[in-house]
């Protein structure tokens, strides 16, 4: 009898914890492989399981960009505070590099996502990125005056 292309959960009792655990059989390249999980009687489609793995990567990417945003914003503040001093040009250059690193990471993350995931990421951190761009533009425009 052929197995359908889905996940099956087979509950079993763990002796020490008395919690229900499950063995998940995943069909990968015509082979069924066990995968232990702390779930009971939950059915997950293969595409949903793959999306959950990507979701963790997306969250890590968003957190990384948020960290870069904080650094870039601090560097912009340092450059603004150094205006008129001998440190201004170096601080301004450091701020530009930090902003560019944040923008590059954001663009790279968006490039690797599908449309629905892009919208979700843009909703989470898009305003921060726009704020960063406008702060850099303000720093550059004040320099021209």
pLDDT digits (tens, 9 = 90+) for 91-145: 999 999 999 999 999 999 999 898 899 999 999 999 999 999 999 999 888 766 5
What is the rounded CA–CA span in Å between residue 109 and residue 60? 10
122 and 66 part of one domain: yes
Please give the residue range of the domain that contains residue 10: 1-43
What is the rounded CA–CA span in Å between residue 38 and residue 11? 10
> Which CATH number belongs to the domain containing residue 63 in this structure?
1.20.58
72 and 130 part of one domain: yes
List all residues 6 or more positions away from 43 whose beta carbon is below 8 Å from its beta carbon: 6, 7, 9
Helix axes 115-144, 88-111, angle to 10 degrees: 160
Answer whether residue 84 shows pLDDT above 70.
yes
52 and 115 part of one domain: yes
54 and 35 part of one domain: no
pLDDT winner (highest mean) among 18-32, 45-59, 108-122: 108-122
Strands (E), 1-145: 8-13, 20-28, 31-37
List all residues 6 or more positions away from 34 whose beta carbon is below 8 Å from its beta carbon: 23, 24, 25
112 and 66 part of one domain: yes
91 and 137 part of one domain: yes
36 and 69 part of one domain: no
Cα 4–Cα 8–Cα 14 angle in degrees, nearest 5: 160
24 and 89 part of one domain: no
């Amino acid at each position: 009898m052929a197995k359908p292309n889905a996940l099956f959960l087979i509950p079993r009792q763990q002796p020490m914890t008395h919690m229900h655990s499950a063995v998940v059989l995943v069909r990968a390249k015509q082979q069924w492989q066990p995968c232990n999980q702390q779930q009971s009687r939950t059915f997950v489609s293969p595409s949903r399981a793959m999306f959950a793995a990507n979701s963790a990567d997306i969250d890590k990417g968003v957190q990384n960009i948020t960290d870069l945003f904080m650094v870039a914003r601090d560097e912009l503040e340092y450059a603004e505070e150094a205006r008129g001093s001998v440190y201004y040009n170096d601080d301004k250059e450091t701020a530009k590099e930090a902003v560019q690193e944040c923008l590059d990471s954001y663009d790279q993350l968006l490039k690797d996502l599908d449309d629905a995931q892009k919208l979700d990421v843009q909703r989470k951190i898009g305003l921060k990125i726009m704020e960063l761009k406008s702060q850099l533009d303000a720093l550059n425009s004040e320099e021209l005056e």
